[in-house]
Amino acid sequence: MDILKQLSEEFNIRPQQVENTVKLIDDGNTIPFISRYRKEATGGLDDQLLRELDERLTYLRNLEQRKSEVYALIEGGGNMTEKIAQQLENATVLAEVEDIYRPFKPKRKTRASIAKEKGLQPLAGFIMQQTLASPRLEAAGYIDAEKGVESEEDAINGALDIISEMISDDAELRKKLYAEYEKSAMITSKAVDEEADTVYKNYYDYSERAAKIPPHRLLAMDRGERENALKVVIEPDIDRVMRIICKEYVKADNDCGRLVRAACDDSYKRLIHPSLERRMRNELTEKACDSSIGVFSDNLRQLLMQPPVKNSVTMGFDPAYRTGCKIAVVDGTGKVLDTTVVYPTPPHNDTVKSKAKLKALIEKHKVSVIAIGNGTASHESEVFIAELIREIDRPLSYMVVSEAGASVYSASKLAAEEFPDYDVSRRSAVSIARRLQDPLAELVKIDPKAIGVGQYQHDMPAVKLSDALGGVVEDCVNNVGVDLNTASVSLLSYVAGISTVVAKNIIAYREENGEFKKRSELMKVPKLGKKAFEQCAGFMRIHDGECPLDNTSVHPESYNAAMALIESCGFKLSDVKNGIPRIKDTVSDIGIKNLSDKLGIGTMTLTDIVSELAKPGRDPRDELPAPMLRTDVADINSLKPGMILTGTVRNVIDFGAFIDIGVHQDGLVHISQMSDKFIKHPLEAVKVGDIVKVKVLETDPAKKRISLTMKGI
C-alpha cells in the first residue's frame, strides 16, 4: 500500500501536503507547532485535520506492519501462494488481514483438529468432490475403534467438522458475508426481564438496520446489555447469507452435496456468524465511540474557548445545604482576596446574616460579578443572589457556571499544593470564580473526562478518549497562548513540546530568578532543550519584556523577518508594544507577494506576522460573543408555552442540545426543533457557549423537563 497516496485520497489533499506533513510528524514536531508555524509545508492544514491525519497514518502503518508479519508467518509455514499474497496486498482493514491468517493460525484443539487426528481429512476431501458415489460406503473404510471412530456416522460427522472449519476459514467468503451484514443486518434488543422497570424500556423490543443505527442508541444498547437489562444481537437475512455460502461450496444435488450443505449450515451457525457478529458489534461500538468522542471534543473545545470575563473582581459561590455555601473572592488575576461561609439555604435559611456578610465583602473588594456553581442547592442560591443584587446599589451581575470536575480538582494534589491552607470546599469556590474569569486557565487543571460536556463518556475507551480530549486542550491552550510569567504548571504542560516535568522546572526557574524578560531565557530551564524551545517558544507570551515581539505569536525563528517587515513599512520595533493597526493597509499597498519575496518567507507566515503586529497579544476568545450574565432568576413554574427566551448552550449531544434559560433546569431542544432545514447533527446548528433564542414548547415541573424549540423565532 502507498500510504501517502492513500492519505491524499482519503483526506482529499495534495500528495505534497501529505508528504510534508508526514515528514514533519516523523521529525518529532508537535501538531500545534506544525499547524501554526509550518503552514507553507502543510498548505495551511488546521490542527484538527492534522490530528486526524496523524491518527490515520498510525493505523495504516500498523496495518502494513501486520500484513508483513502475517506474510512472513504464512511464508514460513510454506503456505504462501500468489492468491494469498494478493489478498494481503488488497486488505484495507486489520480484520481482513486476520481473516486471511485464520486458516494458518495455530489453533487450540477444535472439533476439526480432532477429526484430522482421527485420519478423516481424506474423507472430507471425498465428500467435497460431491460425486455420485455413496459417502456412507466411503465412510465405512474409516471406522477405527482405537481412534474413536465407532461407526459410519462418526466418520461422516468428523469429516463434516473438517469441512465446516474449512468454510469458516475462507477469507474471501467472510469478506462477501460481512458486506452482506453491512448491507442488510438488523440489530435487535430484547428485555432480559420484561417486568423490570429500567431506563432501557425503549429498547425492550427494538430493531433497526445495524449500519444505520445512531451512535447514542447503539451506546445505550451496549450499556443496557452490560447492566444485564438487555440482550442485543445482530440478525442478518439468513436466506441471503446461506445462498452466498452454498453458491461457493454446494456443487451437486446428491448425497455428498447435501452433506456439504449441512456443513455450510453448521459452519455458519457455529463458527462464522458468532465471529461476524462480534466483528460488527465491535465496529459499530468503535464507530459510535469515535462519534461520541468527536462530539465531546467539539463541546470541550467550545467550552475551553469561552470568552473570559477579564479584569473583574469575582465572587465564587459554591452552593450547599447543611454545610453552608462556600464563598471565595478573587481579584482580576485570580488571586484569592477573601473566603467565608454563609447559610442562606435550607435547613438554616439564614438569609439576613448571609446578605449582610456578602454585602460587606462586595463593598470591601468592589466585586462586579458572581459565579454560582450549578450543583446541589444551586437554584435556591441563585434566587438568594438575585434578591441580594436587587438590594445593592452598584453594578453587579451573576452567572451560573458548571461545577463539573470542581470536586475532582479540589481534592487533587494540585489543589492542595495551590491552596494548602484551604479545605476542599473553599478550593472549589475559588475554582468556580476562576472558571468565569478564564475558563481555559482553570479547566486545564481538571481531567477533561470530568468536565461533563459529552455523552456516555464513561463508556468510551479510556486511552482513546484521553488522547482525543488531551489533543483538544493542547490545541486550545496553544491557540490562545500562555503568559510565561503567570501560567500554572497545568497550563504550561499543555504547551507544545513541554512535559509536566519541564513545566515544573519553568515554575521553579521563575521562582528562583524572577520573571522571564525574554523568550530566549527558556533555554536556561533544566531539560528544556533546543527542540522543545523550537516547539514551545511561539506559544509563550511575555508582557512588558525586553522585546515587544515576545508578546506576540511570532516565532523567534521569524524575528529577523518581522523586524525587516516593520522597517519596510516605515515603523519601529517599539511601535509593536501598543500594536500597529495601520500595518495591514501598508502591507496591502506594497503587496503581500512582493513583501514575501523580499523577506524570504511564505505568504501565509507573513499574513500571520502582520496580524500579530497589528494587535499583539491578541486573544482569539475576545472575538466571540461575551458570556451572558444575569441579574434576576426565573422558575420552571413561571414558564408558559410560547414564551421566547434567551439562553446559553450548555451541552450538545447526538439528539439535541441542552440550553440554560435561567431556571436552574436546562431545557432540551431536540434536533428536530433546531432548524427548518434538515441537519444530520445538532453541531451543525449550535455549539457549546452559543447564545440562542428559544421558544418554550412544554414543561413538566414534576419531572423537571423543559422542551424548547429554535424554529419559527
- Asked whether residue 618 falls in the same domain as residue 665, the answer is no
- Asked whether residue 429 falls in the same domain as residue 522, the answer is no
- Asked whether residue 667 falls in the same domain as residue 601, the answer is no
Mean pLDDT, residues 291-319: 91
* Torsion 584-589-590-596 (CA) sign: positive
Burial group, residue 471, by CB count within 10 angstroms (0-12, 13-18, 19+): buried
Cβ atoms of 495 and 539 within 8 Å: the answer is yes
Mean pLDDT, residues 367-379: 89
Nearest alpha-carbon partner for 652 in 300, 265, 404: 300
Residue 115 one-letter amino acid: A
Give me the number of domains the chain comprises. 4
**Chain mean pLDDT for the chain:** 93
Give the model's pLDDT for residue 552: 95
Mean pLDDT, residues 672-689: 92
Mean pLDDT, residues 79-91: 95
- Asked whether residue 604 falls in the same domain as residue 649, the answer is no
- Asked whether residue 318 falls in the same domain as residue 420, the answer is yes
**Most distant CA pair in the chain, distance:** 106
The domain that holds 394 is classified in CATH as 3.30.420.140
Give the model's pLDDT for residue 401: 87
Confirm whether 445 is domain-assigned: no
The domain that holds 680 is classified in CATH as 2.40.50.140
pLDDT at 454 over 80: no
* pLDDT per residue as tens digits for the range 219-230: 999 999 999 999
3-state secondary structure of 322: coil
The domain that holds 573 is classified in CATH as 1.10.150.310
Cα 139 to chain centroid distance, Å, stands at 59
Predicted TM-score (pTM) of this structure? 0.83
- Asked whether residue 413 falls in the same domain as residue 524, the answer is no
Mean pLDDT, residues 18-40: 97
- Asked whether residue 514 falls in the same domain as residue 608, the answer is yes
- Asked whether residue 43 falls in the same domain as residue 100, the answer is yes
- CA dist list (Å): 367 to 131, 363, 429: 94, 7, 15
Last residue of a domain, one of 421, 437, 453: 437
Nearest alpha-carbon partner for 576 in 554, 557, 592: 554
Last residue of a domain, one of 422, 437, 452: 437
Confirm whether 475 is domain-assigned: no
Give the model's pLDDT for residue 33: 98
Nearest alpha-carbon partner for 498 in 444, 557, 554, 417: 444
At residue 13 the predicted structure's pLDDT band, cuts being 50, 70 and 90, is very high
- Asked whether residue 378 falls in the same domain as residue 425, the answer is yes
Mean pLDDT, residues 492-516: 96
Confirm whether 405 is domain-assigned: yes
- Asked whether residue 592 falls in the same domain as residue 661, the answer is no
Burial group, residue 78, by CB count within 10 angstroms (0-12, 13-18, 19+): exposed
- CA dist list (Å): 689 to 287, 373, 655: 27, 16, 18
At residue 424 the predicted structure's pLDDT band, cuts being 50, 70 and 90, is confident
Confirm whether 347 is domain-assigned: yes
Confirm whether 273 is domain-assigned: no
Give the model's pLDDT for residue 415: 83
* pLDDT per residue as tens digits for the range 152-211: 999 999 999 999 999 999 999 999 999 999 999 999 999 999 999 999 999 999 999 999
pLDDT at 632 over 90: no
Give the model's pLDDT for residue 360: 96
- CA dist list (Å): 545 to 148, 166, 401, 516: 89, 74, 35, 8
- DSSP 8-state code for residue 633: -
Give the model's pLDDT for residue 596: 93
Q: Which residues are 186's β-sheet partners?
A: 209, 235
- DSSP 8-state code for residue 627: P
Spatial separation of the C-alpha atoms in residues 600 and 596, rounded to whole Å: 6
pLDDT at 361 over 80: yes
Confirm whether 535 is domain-assigned: yes
Confirm whether 183 is domain-assigned: no
- Asked whether residue 591 falls in the same domain as residue 653, the answer is no
Confirm whether 31 is domain-assigned: yes
The domain that holds 42 is classified in CATH as 1.10.10.650
pLDDT at 478 over 80: yes
pLDDT at 117 over 90: yes
- CA dist list (Å): 444 to 299, 303, 438, 475, 535: 15, 11, 10, 12, 20
Question: Hunting for cell 499583539 — which residue is that?
Answer: 616
3-state secondary structure of 615: coil
For residues 87 and 411, the model is more confident at 87
Give the model's pLDDT for residue 487: 93
Q: Which residues are 706's β-sheet partners?
A: 699
Give the model's pLDDT for residue 376: 85
- Asked whether residue 338 falls in the same domain as residue 423, the answer is yes
Give the model's pLDDT for residue 447: 83
3-state secondary structure of 526: coil
At residue 375 the predicted structure's pLDDT band, cuts being 50, 70 and 90, is confident
**Cis upstream peptide for 420 (omega within 30°):** no
Last residue of a domain, one of 437, 463, 490: 437
For residues 614 and 108, the model is more confident at 614
- The residue range of the domain holding 522 is 509-623
Give the model's pLDDT for residue 421: 83
Give the model's pLDDT for residue 663: 80
At residue 458 the predicted structure's pLDDT band, cuts being 50, 70 and 90, is confident
For residues 413 and 510, the model is more confident at 510
